[in-house]
Chains A and B, each alone.
Chain A
Amino acid sequence: MIYEDSKFRKMVMMRERLDGEFVLDAHTHIGERSLIYHIPDSSAADLVCEMDRIGVDKAITFSFAGITSDFVFGNDICASAVNAYPDRFIGFALVNPHYHTEIQKELERCREMGLRGIKLIADYQRYPVEGPGLFPAYEYAHENSWMILSHNWGPPAFLDKLATTFSNACFIIGHYPGPADIYSEVIRKHDNVYQCTCAALNFGDIEALVDSTPSDKIVFGSDMPDLPLMFSLAPILYARISDDIKRAIIGLNAKAMIERWPGK
């Protein structure tokens, strides 16, 4: 294929909405305020407007507040967004392993509020990625066929062990790990491991990812409103890969993933 002829490249060059395509953003945050920086225009309504403006149908979302502060407070914000826009947001509960005795109870509360997956970000919570405090979350996901997106899964052998032991759960690698792509073997080995494109922002990253990883296991994630939505989406639309693969990455793979792990 001549990549200059890509429908998606032409759409972004013409600054068009992605009409007629199913787009699902598998990595977004929710909540208007953050310790880390000022985030303008970031209410749930603002984010839905941004998705509409660009042509994003749905987004998996989880709270900002729970990353650095009170995860219960953050999960309530997430549930509020999901309940306000049930057709647009798929909410994930965020937990803190320092409160490991509360995790299962909090996940059950979140399930009742309409959330259907888990976000982990132990690095930011100053907790070891392989630590025991996260296992209640893995167990809950296994029992309820939930998805878990982690900022960092640690060594590939650890993710391999989790995907084997908690085989009813789906494990999403939250960020592109770089051209060495340390997880590619684990992704190939397990049906329940997916790779998010989030932070694949160096020259040639998307092409390298498609070379190393089965393209049906790659899902688009923007990190909005940490990163700008089109900052993360445009590299896929411009990438020198086929339009069929682009279509799968920006939405169809995540759609299939969510249908398989709908969450009880």
Chain B
Amino acid sequence: MEDLRFFDAHCYVGRYKTFRAGSFYTTEDLLDQMAYYGISEALVTHAMSREHHPIDGNAAVMEEIKKSPNLHAAWAFLPAASGEMSSPQELIPQMISQQVKAVKLFYGSYTFAISDWCIGEVLEVLEEHRVPVFLDPDRELDTWDADRFDWDAIDSLCRSHPALPVILSEARFRSSNRILYQLLSKHANLHIELSGYWAHHAVEFIVREFGARRLIFGTRMPVRDPACAIGQVAYADISEKDKKLVAGDNLRRLLAEVKQ
């Protein structure tokens, strides 16, 4: 059986607010868990990037990824007008030059809108460089909230930025799959990260109807059990080729397509 080369698009290092005994938070422990569960690579965000401030979290994750070549950093961003972060025109090329090729917008945690009037300056530069953007509507890292996306905003965002790879990532997609399919049928740049998409044959249906390129494997470690997402993908009733795309090659391709 060929290795699927899982590439986890959604995991964290660093102390997070609701840590529970039996879980973990260090990079060393993350690497141990990746080995135990058979995950080859991970796109890592520092917990401070979503629970405190992107500037401190983004700096911290750069130190953590030095511990393994299998770890890749993802940075969080805020709207430009507060001036808390350097201008997107300045910061995003700097970010890419440091081999950081993915961005997370924790707009539920930081309370901003994903409409162009609010985050448009950031999105324009990310689109220019083809940087994949993960949209995360949840207020908390460890939550059971579901269906928090503003779907009209996502429709507008995908329409306004057709060259921007948009990846939806939330704690739980539950009642929203009828809307989701409608948007997947309209926007070729829309993708789903799987750690919160717990639905029977969701992988099979999306691959069949919209193509395997739309799905990105993710675990939400250290909050969720990575075996959930691994089981969903590893045993999906899809071709071996499509399974490899979902497990990791889609994310590898998106990161490789980022323009300097």
CA distance A234 to B235 in the complex (A): 10
Stretch of A8-16, A90-98, A116-124, A149-157 lying at the B interface: A8-16
CA distance A200 to B198 in the complex (A): 13
A227 to B235, Cβ gap below 8 A?
A: no
Checking B223, B229, B230, B235 against A53 with a beta-carbon cut-off of 8 angstroms, the contacting residue is B235
The answer to whether B181 and A38 have CB atoms under 8 Å apart is yes
Interface size of B by Cβ–Cβ distance < 8 Å?
39
Given contacts A41-B205, A53-B235, A235-B228, contact A202 B200 (CB under 8 A): no
Give the A interface residue count (CB, 8 A).
41
State whether A40 and B204 are in contact (beta carbons under 8 Å apart), knowing that A13-B38, A15-B234, A54-B235 are contacts in the complex.
yes
Task: Mark A208-245 against chain B: 1 for CB-CB distance below 8 A, else 0.
Answer: 10000000000000001111111111110111000000
Q: Evaluate contact between B200 and A230: CB separation under 8 angstroms.
A: no
- Do A204 and B234 form a contact, CB below 8 Å, given A225-B200, A228-B198? no
Whether, in the assembled complex, A179 has its beta carbon less than 8 Å from a beta carbon of chain B, the answer is: yes
A198 → chain B closest CB, angstroms = 12
Taking a contact as CB atoms under 8 Å apart, the answer to whether B200 and A42 are in contact is yes
Residues of B within 8 A of A232 (CB): 228, 231
Q: Is B237 an interface residue (CB 8 A)?
A: yes
Is residue A207 within 8 Å, beta carbon to beta carbon, of the partner chain? Answer: yes
Q: Mark B1-42, 1 if CB is under 8 A from A, else 0.
A: 100000000000000000011111000000000001110000
| Chain B neighbourhood of A227, CB < 8 A | 198-200
Report the bound CA distance from A39 to B234 in whole Å.
Answer: 20
List residues of chain B with CB within 8 A of the CB of A3.
36
Q: Are B198 and A42 in contact (CB under 8 A)?
A: no
CB of B245, distance to nearest CB on chain A (Å): 16
Whether the Cβ atoms of B174 and A231 lie closer than 8 Å is no
Q: Which residues of B contact A202 (CB under 8 A)?
A: 20, 23, 142, 223-225
Which residues of B have CB within 8 Å of A42?
200-201
- Say yes or no for A102: interface residue by CB 8 A criterion: no
- The minimal Cβ–Cβ distance linking A152 to chain B, given in whole angstroms, is 14
Q: Known: A4-B36, A15-B1, A207-B22. Contact between A201 and B224, CB under 8 A?
A: yes
Which residue of A37, A203, A228 contacts B174 across the interface (Cβ within 8 Å)?
A37
Q: How far is the CA of A182 from the CA of B104 in the complex (A)?
A: 36
Kindly state whether residue A1 has any CB partner on chain B within 8 Å. no
Q: How far is the CB of B121 from chain A (nearest CB, A)?
A: 36
A41 touches B204 (CB 8 A): yes
Q: How far is the CA of A224 from the CA of B70 in the complex (A)?
A: 34
Instruction: Write out the residue numbers on chain A whose beta carbons fall within 8 Å of the beta carbon of B224.
Output: 201-203
User: In chain B between 122 and 146, which residues have their CB closer than 8 angstroms to a CB of chain A?
Assistant: 142
Indicate if B178 sits at the interface (CB-CB under 8 A).
Answer: yes
Residue of B nearest to A239 (CB): B227
The listed residue (B21, B177, B221, B232) touching A230 by CB distance below 8 A is B232
Contacts of A208 in B (CB 8 A): 22
User: In the assembly, what is the distance between CA of A36 and CA of B173, in Å?
Assistant: 11
Whether A203 lies near B38 (C-beta < 8 A) is no
Bound together, the chains give a CA A37 to CA B24 distance in angstroms of 34
In the complex, which residues of chain B have a beta carbon less than 8 angstroms from the beta carbon of A40? 200-202, 204-205
Contact A12 B225 (CB under 8 A): no
Kindly provide the distance from the CB of A229 to the nearest chain B CB, expressed in whole angstroms: 7
- A44 in the interface, Cβ–Cβ < 8 Å? no
Contacts of B222 in A (CB 8 A): 203
Q: Shortest CB–CB separation between residue B92 and chain A, in angstroms?
A: 33
Beyond A41-B200, A239-B227, list 14 extra A-B contacts (CB 8 Å).
A15-B1, A38-B177, A41-B201, A50-B201, A54-B235, A200-B225, A201-B224, A203-B225, A203-B226, A208-B22, A228-B201, A231-B229, A234-B227, A235-B225
